[in-house]
Chains A and B, each alone.
Chain A
Amino acid sequence: MATLNYYIVLASILFGLGAIGFLTRRNALILFMSVELMLNSVNLMLVAFSQFRAEMAGQVMVLFIYAVAAAEVAVGLAILIVLFRHVKSVNINKFNVLKW
């Protein structure tokens, strides 16, 4: 029987992996996936807390987060496509016209 702590630890590990992936990978699409991983680790934690507290609020929050994340990615991918047409690459090291 998995207790609440397992879920918290698992969600934290996933969140950390997402954050590390975001900071170390150079492919823009992998960055998208990393952010999604971070958001979904939060979803996992919310569902676990919701189950543990025996109330629905946490699960309703997950639905909101899904909707917001989908809207966010739609705009983000659109920006990436326009940027790709300029740069012809998804390597974020190539996105370097703005720098000091």
Chain B
Amino acid sequence: MSNLGFSFSLAQLWQVCGGQILLIIAGLALIIADILLLGRDKSSRTGIIGWITIGSLVAIVLHVMFRQWNVEQTGIGGIFSADRFTTFLCAVVIMSGILAALMSLGYLKNNKLPHSEYFILLIFAVYGTVAFIQSVDLLMMFITLEIMSIAVYALAAFIKACRQSQEGAFKYFMLGSFGSAFFLFGMALLYGFTGTVNLSQIAKAISVGGLFHQPAILLALAMLMIGLFFKMAMVPFHMWTPDVYEGSPSVVTGFMATAVKAAAFGVFIKVLFVAFSPLLSTQSGFSATASLVGLEAYWKPVVWWAALLTMFIGNLLAVSQKNVKRMLAYSSVAHAGYMALGILAANAEGRAGILFYLFSYTLMNLGAFGVLYIIDGVERGAQTLGDYKGIGFKYPGLAFLMSLFLVAMAGLPPTADFIAKFYVFSAAIKEGYMLLAALGIMTSVFGLYYYLRVIWMMYMEEPERDVRAGTLTAPTLVAIVVAAIGVIYLGILPEGLATIASAAQAGLAVVF
């Protein structure tokens, strides 16, 4: 039977894709509202559209968290799945969208960009990420990947007068479409050799046909990995990251670094552990003979080296950066390397650790970019290390929050990232990756240097020039404070989220 055949009921559609449907409705309603508000001046229109966006995203995240959490099924002919794993990640990316939207209100005002279409693009970008995470079909993954990417390309290019913004967006676009061409090639090969693009059907076809060592399947796996590594910003496919993160509007960078990365990690886990994991497919009735432990031997060394290089290159190049935003971009590359340890561990703790990591990473990264854009004033106003000298005394509140988020990213104890790193590293050690974990901890200690250097600049150096921070609006303050409280709360009391994350990773088995 062709897996494009449609047989579904509306009730099931609503159960599985309720969040997606609401996001599309909200996006279309925003377009209509934007037309209805044409009479008003641009900045008040932007404000109204912004608040509607925030309101609908909050409603949708509540729907996803409370109504979708207990739904465990695949719908629409096996294209989308709702299970706890995807629901957790959907909640993370929608949360990232809410924080980004709250900050965008102030960002657009500070930079004098009263364009209401920003929020419409943002909500469709959130839709793309949610649908990307929920899809269990390679073709649907490609389509939703592009929905997500196209909206983010447009957001990255949002400052029309700024050459850096355009240049970053162009590089993102070019390398993004280059990467998705590889993803597509992998999909086509899998379709040809297994006859399906559905993840669980691929696993069955590989198991039944014994296609573990077939070159075409391995090539397809490699191609899919290249495509997803681009979006996850793993070395050696990270070249675009610093340029794009530096050029894009700061809030968009925060959204890109968190939601897009979370979605790419979620899909990578799904592809590896559903389609290419014969061990998991034993649950659906295939016997685990020795020959079935085939594919792990191929992808594990690749992920091992990618994780090592990502941690090293991300941390090493971050040290040489003069621009704080670019430094944060390299730090985001390094964080992808730590998360990859959880994938390499390939056990329940590793996957739960990644989910925890993505949640805490979303909070601290968006928080840091929120503070960064306010210190900036206007985009590229004060981003270099020299500009940060002495602002600890001029803007004590902002400097304190920045220090908090930087300490959190460095992974120091009372913060969420310490716990997250502990989970992924201990999961990797449990599976015997002692050397890699030791090297990872070493790079993480090394990373302390460049995070603490910014804090040193803020408090210990004399100001070089008069930096004028932008106005801190109430919505931005709310977003930053929520992120700061979350980072500290999860550092002190991580059990609640850890329990939810380990329940969430168990949902991966439902995809079968």
Q: Which residues of A contact B (CB under 8 A)?
A: 8, 11, 15, 18-19, 22, 28, 31, 35, 38-39, 41-42, 45-46, 48-49, 52-53, 55-58, 60-61, 64-65, 68, 71-72, 75-76, 78-80, 82-83, 86-87, 95, 97-100
Contact A45 B170 (CB under 8 A): no
CB-contact partner of B171 in A56, A64, A87, A95, under 8 A: A95
CB-contact partner of B166 in A38, A52, A65, A83, under 8 A: A83
| Inter-chain contacts of B177 with A (CB < 8 A) | 35, 72, 76
**Which one of B105-113, B181-189, B337-345 contacts A?**
B181-189
Interface centre among B163, B171, B173, B178 (most CB of A within 10 A): B173
B192 in the interface, Cβ–Cβ < 8 Å?
Answer: yes
16 A–B contacts, CB within 8 A, in A order: A8-B192, A15-B185, A28-B170, A31-B174, A38-B185, A39-B181, A39-B184, A42-B181, A68-B146, A76-B170, A76-B173, A79-B166, A82-B157, A83-B169, A86-B166, A98-B242
B296 in the interface, Cβ–Cβ < 8 Å?
Answer: no
Contact status of A65 and B171, CB under 8 A, knowing A8-B192, A53-B195, A75-B154? no
Having A79-B169, A98-B247, one finds 4 other A-B pairs with CB under 8 Å, namely A55-B2, A64-B143, A75-B154, A79-B153
Contact A98 B167 (CB under 8 A): yes
Contact B317 A100 (CB under 8 A): yes
Describe B's contact surface by its main secondary structure. Answer: helix
Closest residue of B by beta carbon distance from A96: B167
Contact A64 B192 (CB under 8 A): no
Q: CA–CA, A64 to B166, complex, Å?
A: 28
B422 in the interface, Cβ–Cβ < 8 Å?
Answer: no
Contact B184 A65 (CB under 8 A): yes
Closest residue of A by beta carbon distance from B174: A31
3 A-B pairs closest in CB distance: A49-B192, A38-B181, A83-B166
Contact B157 A100 (CB under 8 A): no
| Inter-chain contacts of A42 with B (CB < 8 A) | 181, 184-185, 187-188
B426 in the interface, Cβ–Cβ < 8 Å?
Answer: no
Give per-residue flags for B181-207: 1 if the beta carbon is below 8 A from chain A beta carbons, else 0. 100110111011001010000000000
Q: Which residues of B contact A (CB under 8 A)?
A: 2-4, 139, 142-143, 146, 149-150, 153-154, 157, 160, 163-164, 166-171, 173-174, 177-178, 181, 184-185, 187-189, 191-192, 195, 197, 242-243, 246-247, 317, 320-321, 326
Describe A's contact surface by its main secondary structure. Answer: helix
Closest residue of A by beta carbon distance from B150: A75
Contact status of A79 and B173, CB under 8 A, knowing A42-B185, A64-B143? yes
Contact A45 B181 (CB under 8 A): no
Contact B181 A18 (CB under 8 A): yes
| Inter-chain contacts of B187 with A (CB < 8 A) | 42
Q: CA–CA, A8 to B192, complex, Å?
A: 10
Contact B174 A49 (CB under 8 A): no
Q: CA–CA, A8 to B185, complex, Å?
A: 11
| Inter-chain contacts of A31 with B (CB < 8 A) | 174
- What's the nearest-Cβ distance from chain A to residue B248, in Å? 10
| Inter-chain contacts of A35 with B (CB < 8 A) | 174, 177-178, 181
| Inter-chain contacts of B160 with A (CB < 8 A) | 82
CB-contact partner of B188 in A46, A53, A72, A95, under 8 A: A46
Q: CA–CA, A87 to B71, complex, Å?
A: 52
- What's the nearest-Cβ distance from chain B to residue A87, in Å? 7
Contact status of A49 and B167, CB under 8 A, knowing A35-B178, A100-B326? no
| Inter-chain contacts of B168 with A (CB < 8 A) | 98
| Inter-chain contacts of A99 with B (CB < 8 A) | 243
